[in-house]
Structure 1
C-alpha cells in the first residue's frame, strides 16, 4: 500500500541554544592485564547534544573493536528482516532472523581507520530489498560523488563525479528492480545491476526527461507517475527500455491527468494514490490540492467544479503525504512557531457537498514520525515516548516510554524498531514486548573482577555482559572492578590532540626502552588554525564592525538580511532550530510593515535582531537628498515600527540596504547610537543571470557560493545571507541551502554565533 516513506526529524524543543561546536573526544580509559583498553568516544550531534560509544583497543594486536552502536539513523530492509543502523562511526546491519551483526565495509567504520564526521550524518538511499545503497561521498564542502554500492558483493559504481551534497536524488521501484535518478536537471533510469555489466548503456539512451525526483511518484512495482509542466503521465517500467532503443519515436507514457499549475521541480512535490487514480500535489509549501487523474480534461466541463484544496500557513517548512490502507489521503506539515517545532496534520474527509480537509490532533512534543508499510498505523516519536495512532480512526492504540528515543522505523505492520538512547529494541505492538537487540550507549562500563569480561550498565535494563560481535547478554550478577589507568606494561592517559579530535588517548610503555604513542590515528584533515588568544590580536573599530577576533576560537556569525520579501524565511528558521543556533537578523522597515507576523516569529525563536533601516532605498543613490538627519530619523522610525510589531527593541547594530558605506552613513548611525556591521565574506546570492550577461562570472550557483564562503572565511568572519527572491532570474537561492552552508561550517570545525558575541570576544 502506498504511503509516505519520508520521516521528518525534529530536534527537541528547548529554551536554551546549544553552542554548535561539533567535537569528538575520548574518555574513561580502563586497561586490564591483557593490555586491552576500554574507552568511550563522545561525539556531538549538531543541534542535538552528544552520545558515547564504547570501544575496546588491544594494544598488542593493534585492533579496535566497537561495542555499542548509537542509532542516529535506521533503515528497515528486506521486508523488515534486516535493520540497518548508521552513525558517524560507520554503518552496520543486524539480521533479526539469525541474530548476527555485520558491518557495511564500503562505509569505512571508525575501528578500521575511518574518520567520524563533525557535521550532520549524510543521507543514503537504500533499495527496498537492501541490496543497493546510493550515497554521496564528500569531495568538497558542497559537492560529492554519487555512488551506487552493491552491498552483497561490496562493489561500487560512480553514477556521477559531481553532485550537490544533501538529499540523495534517487527514487527506487518498490521491488528494487529499477533506479530513477536526477542529474543536472534531467531524470535517468536503469536497472541497478546494469551498471556493473561490461558494457553499461550510455546515459543518452536512458534519459526519461527533464526534472528531479520530485517529478516522480511510484504506485506499484512497475508503474509510476511523472509530472511534466501541467501534465501528469502514467509510465510503465517496461516502456523505459523500449524508449532506450526508440527514444526519438516513443513519447513518455500516457496522459494520466492534469495539474492546476505547472510543476516546479525545485519547490513542488506530489504523491500518487495506491491505484494511481489520484494525487496529492503541494505547490511551493503553501497550497495542497487533491487531483483526480481523469486523463484529458480539455472538454470535461463538469470537472471544472470543486477540487479539494488546503492553504498552508506561511511558516510551513516541509510537507509530507500519506495514503492510508483505505486510500484516504493525509497531509502532514512541519513549521517553527513560537520558537518551537510543530507538526500539523489534515485528513481528506467526504462530506455531503464534496470532500474537505479536516484538522487532525497531533500528540504533544513530536520529534519524528514513521508510517507502517501497509499504511494502517503511524508512530510518533515524542518527547514523552512513542505514540501509535490508527490512521483510519486517528486514535492512539499503543504507547512506549521506557527510554528516550533517537530514531524509529517499522519492520512490518506489527513490529517497530526503536533506536533508544541506551538500547535498540524490536517492539511487537500486539504483545507489548520490546526485546533488546543491541546497546546504543551505556551509563557505565568496566571489567569484571577477573579483568577478562566486559560489563556495562543501562538505566532501563540494568547490567549487561559482552559476548562479542556487538552482542550483549543481560547479566543478573557480576561485579565491576574500579577502572585502572595502568598495568605492568602500560600507562594510559588523556592529553591534547593534534587537530581534528579535541583530545587524544595515549599509551606510555612502562618497560625499557619506553616510548609513548597515540591509541587512535589522527585523521589527515586540517582545520583552520587559530592564533592563541591575546589582547593584541583583538581589534574593535568604533564605527564599523567587519569581523571578530581571529584568535582563540573558530567562530563565525551568519547574518540574515530581511529586506522586503519573505521567501526562504520558513526554511531558515527551521534549519536554525534543527541545529539549535541563535543567529542575527537585520530587518528592514518594509519587511516589518509587510510581514509583522514573520518578524514576531524571528523574535520568538530567540534570534538577535538589528536594523536594516526603515526603507529599501539605496542610500548611495542620487534620486533623493540624503543627510544625517534623514538617516537618524529613518533608524528611529524602524525602531518604532519594530516595537509596535513585536513589543521588543532592536539591538543597536545596523547596516544600510545593500551594505552601502560612506562617512555620512557611519556618522549618522553613530549619532543615533548604532554600530555599523559589514561582512568580510563576499556572498553574491543576489546576482542574477541577467546581471551575469553584463558582468560575466558574477552569477554563481548556491553550491559554488558555499565553496567560496568556505575558502575565504576566517575565525571571526561575518557571512551575510539575503532572505527573499531577487527581481531577476536565479536557478537556486542560498536561503534554500542554508542547511548545506551550516553543515559545511560545522565540518570545518566552526561554531556559529551572533554578531554581538563576536563583538564581546573582540573587546
Structure 2
C-alpha cells in the first residue's frame, strides 16, 4: 500500500484540486440610456464546445428583446438563394447576399419572441440544400417532441411525426442533395419523407415509409440522390426513387445493392465513416483510435496485392475533420489533446498508401468546396485557400478565429468567433457583414450603440447591421437609472441563471425580469420524505443530503471494454460535469492507453478492485486479506500505467457489500461508494438485442432524487446495440430541465459532513 490518508484530508485536497464546474448563464454589464433602451451581454456556455457572449438589447417599457450579435453555433448556405443562415440558442438569422441585409427568421420559437435561453442542447434544425424547407424539433407536453417540416416559401408547417423520445444524440434528419427527400429516425428505425408526396397531398402512412434500416450514423447521401447504408461489413446503395416500392417489402428484399465490403465490422455506436462522392472509397474511423482508407471498387482480377493507408491516433490525438476532394484525394486534420496543435495530412495515390503530413500548427478546422477542387484551412488569424493538389495557399484572408466557411460563386462567407465576413477571392479582400460577439459595448454621448472588438469599433445601424468606425468613439460609463426606470442584477442560488436583471418602474413601483427565466430556475424543492436516510457509517457513502439544492453526482465504471471513451469525455467536457471513474485491473491491463487518457482528463479515479467477478458466489472466499491485496494490487497497476495515484474511493463489482467489506474499507481508510439507484446497463447475450437504452434512461430519470449518485458503465457488451452511457446528453438535458445540478462526488461527500 503506497499511502494512507485520512478521510478529511482526502476530501479537502480533492475538492481543492478538482472544483466542481457548473454551467451557468451569466448576465454582464447591463446599461440603460435616456431613451430607456437596455443593453447587456449574455455569456452562454454552449454545449457545442464554445462559450460565447451575445449582446442583447431591449426596452424597459415593453421588455421587447433582440439579439444583436450572432454567434454561429450552426450555419447553412443556400447557393440558389445566395443566403447564409446562422442558428444558435437565441434564434435563426438569414443574410441575403444580394442586398446585404440581415433578418431574423421567425419560423421557430426564439429569444425575441419570448423564449427563455435554454441550457439544453441546441434544438435540432436541418435545412434542405435549396433553403426552402426547415425540419426541426418542437418540444411537446409529456416529455415528448415532434418533427416539424416548415415550408419557407408557402409559410406553412406540417407535423412529420410526433411523440418522439427526447434523446438528442445524433442528427435526426438527413436531406438528399436535391432537397426532394429526407431520412429521419424514430429511435433507431429510419424512415423516408418525400417532398413530392407532400406537395401532392399523398403522404403514405408512416409505417409504409420505413426504410428497413437502422442508425442515422450508418447512412449518407451522395450525388445522384443515392443513399448509402453501412451495415456491419457491407455497404448498400439505394436510389431515392426506390423508397416507395421498397417500403412495402420486408427483409431481406429491401436492403439495396451491395457496393462494397469492409475488412472489419462497422459499429454505428462507436465508429464513423466518410464516403467519397462516387461511393468508391471509404474512410473508416474505428472507435476514435485509428482511421483507414478502404477502396470499395478494387479490381479483384488484379494480380497485385493492394495496400491501404492506416493512421494510428494514439492516446493524445483525434481526427478533427476528414474531407474527400476531387480525384479521390482525402485530407485529414488531426489534433493533439495535449498542446492543441494540429497536423494536416493528405492521401491521394493508391500506389503510395500512406498519409503525407503537409503542415502543423494552430489549425482549428477545414472546409472543402462543393466540387472538391479547393479547401480552406483555418489558422489562428487567417483563412487560407488551397487547391486540392497543391501545397501552397492560393489565397490567404485575414480573419481571426474563423470556424466555418461557405463557398459562394463570387465570394466566400467566413463565420468566426468574433466577426462574420465575406472573402473576395479576386480582390483578396474581406469585409465584415456581421458580429458574432463583442469584447465591449455601450452607448456614446448621443445614445448610439457602440461595440468594440479588439482595436476596432462598430456602430449599430439597425437590422443586425454594424458599421465600422474609422475613428475611436468614447463610450459613456454604464448607467443603471433614468427618470422612469432603474435596473439592477439580483444573484440567484441554484438553477441555470446565475442572476436576473430586474427592471423597476420608479413611478409604479413594479419590478419585472428583463429576460424571462428558464422555467426550471425556481423549481420547487423535492419534499423531505422523498430523500433517503443517510448512512451513519463514515466509510460508506451512497447518497448526499442535498437539503438546500437539487444536486446529483455521476460515477462511471470502467470494467473491461473501453469503446466510447473519447466520446464520453467530450460529452462530460461539453456539459462541464465532473465525474468519478472507478477502474479495475482488467480494464487497466486491456486498455492502458484509455486508462492514461482518463487519468489525464482531470476527473477523479477510484478503485473497482483488481478484477471483476461475483463476490457473492459461493466459490469465493472473501476475507480482509483478500480484499486488502486486491485493492493494493489495483493501486499498483494503476500507478504503473499512469504514474498517478488512485483516490481513496472504491466499490466492489456489482456494489456487493457486507460487514467484512466495510470493516476492511475502514481499516485501509477507503470510502466505499454505493448508489441509491440500481441501474441495468449491462445485459446478457440473450436479452441484449432487445435492450432499449432510451427506455432505461427514462426509468432512471424517474428514480433520481436530490443527492442521488448515478452509476453507469463504460464500453460495449457482446450483442448489445444500445448503451445507457450513450444517453448521457438526454439524462443531462432532462435533469437540468427539472432544476438539477451536477456536482463532483467529493463535493457532495464533503457537504454531507456538515
Question: Does TM, scored on the shorter chain, surpass 0.5?
Answer: yes
Tell me what 1:681 maps to: 677
Q: How big is the shift at 1:361? A: 4.4
- Residue by residue over 1:161-218, the C-alpha shift from the partner in whole angstroms, topping out at 9 and shown as x without a partner, is 2143232233322221222333354433333253355331233443433233444333
Partner of 1:471: 465
Where in structure 1 are there 5+ consecutive unaligned residues?
1-15, 694-698
**C-alpha separation in 2, matches of 1:648 and 1:455:** 51
Deviations 1:682-707 (A, max 9, x none): 321113473589xxxxx852222333
Mean Cα displacement is larger for which, 648-657 or 160-169? 160-169
1:630 is displaced (CA, Å) by 0.9
Q: Are 1:308 and 2:308 counterparts?
A: yes
Question: Structure 1 583/396 Cα, relative in aligned 2: closer, same or farther at 3 Å?
Answer: farther
Secondary structure of 2:238's aligned partner: strand
The 5 Å alignment of 1:165-564 reads 165-192=168-195, 194-195=197-198, 197-227=200-230, 230-241=233-244, 243=246, 254-261=257-264, 264-282=267-285, 285=288, 286=290, 288-293=292-297, 300=300, 302=302, 305-308=305-308, 310=310, 312-313=312-313, 321-331=322-332, 337-338=337-338, 346-350=345-349, 354-361=351-358, 363-382=360-379, 386-396=383-393, 399=396, 402-405=399-402, 407-412=403-408, 415-429=411-425, 431-451=427-447, 453-462=448-457, 464-476=458-470, 478-496=473-491, 501-511=497-507, 513-525=508-520, 528-529=523-524, 541-564=537-560
Q: In the alignment, which residue of structure 2 is the partner of 1:7? A: none
| Distance in 2 between residues matched to 1:576 and 1:515, nearest whole Å | 42
Q: Is this contact kept in 2: 1:438–1:472, CA < 8 A?
A: yes
Residue pair 2:526, 2:706 contacting (<8 A) in 1 also: no
Q: CA deviation at 1:435?
A: 0.9
TM-score between the two structures when normalised by the length of structure 2: 0.85
Kindly provide the CA deviation profile for residues 375-405 of structure 1, in whole angstroms up to 9, marking residues without a partner as x. Answer: 2333344556555554423455555565444
**Structure 2 CA distance, aligned partners of 1:44 and 1:271?**
30
- Per the alignment, do residues 399 and 561 of structure 1 end up closer, same or farther by CA in structure 2, a change over 3 Å counting? farther
C-alpha spacing 1:684/1:255, structure 2 compared with 1 (3 Å): closer
Contact persistence 1:403–1:460 (CA under 8 A) = no
> Tell me, what secondary structure is at the counterpart of 2:43?
strand
Residue 3 of structure 2 corresponds to none
Equivalent in the alignment of 2:126:
125
- Asked if structure 2 preserves the Cα contact closer than 8 Å seen for 1:555 and 1:717, the reply is yes
CA distance in structure 2 between the aligned counterparts of 1:476 and 1:319, rounded to whole angstroms: 38
In 2, the alpha carbon distance for the partners of 1:664 and 1:307 equals 58
1:71 and 1:87 in contact (8 A); partners too: yes
Residue 44 of structure 1 corresponds to 45
Classify 1:508/1:281 alpha carbon distance in 2 versus 1 (closer, same or farther; 3 Å). Answer: closer
Q: Contact 2:398 / 2:430 at 8 angstroms: preserved in 1?
A: no
**Cα deviations by residue, 1:540-591 (Å, 9 ceiling, x for unpaired):** 7411111234044554322111122222223223333444544311111122
The answer to whether the aligner puts 1:567 opposite 2:563 as a matched pair is yes
Distance 2:455 2:74 in 1: 21
Alpha-carbon deviation of 1:90?
0.9
1:123 is displaced (CA, Å) by 4.1
Contact 1:373 1:410 in 2 (8 A): no
Q: TM-score, normalised by structure 1?
A: 0.85
1:761 matched to 2:751? The reply is: yes
Shift of the 521–193 alpha-carbon distance from structure 1 to 2, 3 Å rule, reads farther
State whether residues 377 and 391 of structure 1, in contact with CA within 8 Å, keep that contact through their aligned partners in structure 2: yes
Q: 1:42 to 1:350 in 2, by over 3 A?
A: closer
**Residues 47, 579 of structure 1: 8 Å contact kept:** no
Structure 2: 5+ residue runs without aligned partners?
Answer: 1-16, 528-532
Q: Name 2:703's counterpart in structure 1.
A: 712
Aligned residue for 1:606, secondary structure, equals: coil
